[in-house]
Amino acid sequence: MNPQAPAYELIEDAPHALRLTLSGDWVQAQAIPDFPALRSELLALSPEQLAVDGSSLGEWDSLLMAFLLQCHSFCSAEQIPFAAHNLPGSANRLLEVATAVPSHQRPQEVRPPLLERLNPLVALRSLWADLRESVAFLGDLGIGLARLVSGRANTRFSDFRHFCYQAGPDAFAIISLTSILVGMILAYLGAVQLKLFGAEIYVADLVLIGMLREMGVLMTAVVMAGRTGAAYAAQLGTMQTNEEIDAITTMGVSPVEFLVLPRVLALLVMLPLLTIYADLLGVIGGAIVAGGMGITMLQYSAQIQDAISLTHFMVGLSKSLVFAVLIAVAGCRSGMQSGRGSAAVGNAATDAVVTAIVYLIVADAAMNIFYQQLGI
């Protein structure tokens, strides 16, 4: 049995009363007639009633139904009486079900005019709103912290310990790898330049000061922003999706105290510790390169002992405290303000990492200028 090409024919039974006969197999892989073609014919003939006749119809599937539905919608839009005869029983029923509910019109969204969208003031205002939200979030965090200090906050120690474990020991492997490599990179960077002056031994100073003041803390913070900051945003975003945050709020517990504080505090404790660890491994990484340049371990360690000072160490440590707060706040804020649904949680995580890294670099530059002015 060869499939027959689907077709339709418009027959004028009486003046302005049209009959639409359908024939052939209206199934997939056949050239189904276009409704727009029929539509223009109908518009040209401007009928007063339309009857569909399906008596010579062969096989059919959803494509026929889609065509019939379009005919029906066209007729109801043009207020032409529509009737269907000799359609297969189930097709008739399906058409009834499909036309039972009138089509919904999506309300037009009012888009602001182009001029307004390009207006720098609008962009500035949204930036201002964003900034205010951040400040408000920090304020909430401050209130939570004050309540924690006075012992009235609903923050659980077990949560804090759990997040400490996640942010600290779990990150050892990746921090070890990155900081040894950063130490080596610093040493190579200095080696080439210092060799010109015959001052290779100062590689030790370069690595030590570079790691302690700058690279140790910055690299650790960037890794943690990608690792822990994104995790915070995803956790809180998923909780928002599951209405867990609503549940916490309606239990009379502040989500900031219950969810955000333990995360922020955990990172605040763990990031300085990780930074110290990264500093140590960075110096070891530098030693490996120095050894390759012909500097003995003894020379290197003596030079390190000469160069080390509490000031450099404290500069790095102070930065790590600031960075920890920035990463945790960026992550938690994105998570708390996340929309609902899988796409929104993804956006929140991306947002958390991007914001955190921008914050980190800006804060690092600001603190460097500050310390420079103070002469530290």
Partner 1 sequence: MSEQPHISIRGVTMAYGPRLIQRDLSFDVNRGDIFVIMGGSGCGKSTLLKHMLGLIQPAAGDILYNGKSFTRADPASRDAMRRGWGITYQSGGLFSSMTVGENVTLPMQLYTRYSEAEIRDVVNYKLALVGLAGYQSYYPSEISGGMRKRAALARAIALDPDILFFDEPSAGLDPISSSLLDELIVQLKESIGATVVMVTHELPSIFSIANNSVYLDANSKTMIAYGNPRELRDHSDQPVVRQFLAREASAAAENAQ
Q: Which residues bind to partner 1, rule: CB under 8 A?
A: 28-29, 32, 34-35, 61-63, 65-67, 69-70, 90-91, 93-94, 97-106, 339-344
- Nearer to partner 1 (CB atom), residue 34 or residue 116: 34
- Nearer to partner 1 (CB atom), residue 176 or residue 347: 347
Q: Which two tokens stand for residue 305?
A: 């002992």
Helix or strand holding residue 280 (H, E): helix 261-292
- Nearer to partner 1 (CB atom), residue 28 or residue 126: 28
Q: How far is it, in rounded angstroms, from Cα 139 to Cα 364?
A: 22
Q: Spell out a b/e string for 315-348, using b for 16 or more CB atoms within 10 Å of the CB, else e.
A: bbbebbebbbbbbbbbbbbbbbbbeeeeebbebb
- Nearer to partner 1 (CB atom), residue 93 or residue 125: 93
**CA distances, 236 to each of 111, 184, 211, 226, 260 (Å):** 32, 37, 33, 16, 9
Query: CB neighbours of 352 closer than 8 A, spacing ≥ 6?
Result: 225, 229, 230, 232, 233, 330, 331, 333, 334, 335
Shortest separation between residue 30's beta carbon and partner 1, angstroms: 10
- Nearer to partner 1 (CB atom), residue 69 or residue 145: 69
Shortest separation between residue 335's beta carbon and partner 1, angstroms: 17
Shortest separation between residue 336's beta carbon and partner 1, angstroms: 18
- Nearer to partner 1 (CB atom), residue 68 or residue 221: 68
Q: Give the type of residue at 269.
A: V
- Nearer to partner 1 (CB atom), residue 189 or residue 344: 344
Helix or strand holding residue 75 (H, E): helix 62-78
**CA distances, 100 to each of 53, 73, 81, 84 (Å):** 21, 12, 16, 15
Shortest separation between residue 347's beta carbon and partner 1, angstroms: 10
Shortest separation between residue 344's beta carbon and partner 1, angstroms: 8
Shortest separation between residue 41's beta carbon and partner 1, angstroms: 18
Shortest separation between residue 162's beta carbon and partner 1, angstroms: 26
Query: CB neighbours of 312 closer than 8 A, spacing ≥ 6?
Result: 208, 209, 212, 213
- Nearer to partner 1 (CB atom), residue 11 or residue 37: 37
Shortest separation between residue 86's beta carbon and partner 1, angstroms: 17
Q: Which long-range contacts (CB under 8 A, 24 or more apart) does 130-133 make?
A: 133/333, 133/337
Q: How far is it, in rounded angstroms, from Cα 278 to Cα 211?
A: 8
CB 84 within 8 A of CB 92: yes
Q: How far is it, in rounded angstroms, from Cα 210 to Cα 368?
A: 13
